[in-house]
A and B are shown apart, each in its own frame.
Chain A
């Protein structure tokens, strides 16, 4: 069965860095686009970034562009999110998700991890 397990969250000071990881299993990781989606406490979902199956195509939300870097290691079945220059407004649960191509438009996420909490506070 498809499993996505995030790790690396925690408490970090404003301006600090954190690297999230997502370990994938139960499917051929290298065949799928993957996304990071976050949810601030008590708020809705916000798409953060996605990466193509080969890693050559990457998109970011404007709110994280220039500060976050998505990457993947298909040999290790792992997805990463390097987060730099963190701000209080980056505080959220970060979900890793497997993507499927839509008939028209961007991908949708058919499997989600349980999430990892990132808290940015002094």
Chain B
């Protein structure tokens, strides 16, 4: 059972917009801690996608964006492409556990 809750799967057609939610609590996202997102393509290591709630590292397309409100955060992907098919993980810090925590991951399928 992950501290941060993500939907197990989402899907969308090419060109569409999808969002992936990440729900936490008052000891993590709700406490104001930053949320970060990672993309894991099949058979590869995770890659940083969004950091500090809504910042993209160099090289990440602006089709990817992050937001945060209250005890939840979201990753939005616009103009969906086949190569976006991957697992996506959110991460934050939990003050009750005193360490970083990950969401359970969401598998994105491009139809």
- Which residues from chain A sit less than 8 Å from chain B, CB to CB? 35, 37, 44-47, 50, 59-62, 95, 100, 102-115
Contacts and interface: CB of A to CB of B under 8 A. Distances in A.
A37 B105 CA distance: 14
A61 B52 contact: no
Contact of A110 (B51, B98, B101, B103): B51
Contacts of A104: 32-34, 93
A104 B47 CA distance: 21
Contacts of A37: 46
Contacts of B57: 110
Residue among B52, B92, B100 with max Cβ neighbours from chain A (10 Å): B100
A113 B44 CA distance: 10
Interface string B32-46: 111010100000111
A99 B52 CA distance: 13
B9 to A, nearest CB: 13
Nearest to A98: B48
Given A106-B33, A110-B51, A45 B46 contact: yes
Given A44-B2, A59-B98, A95-B46, A100 B105 contact: no
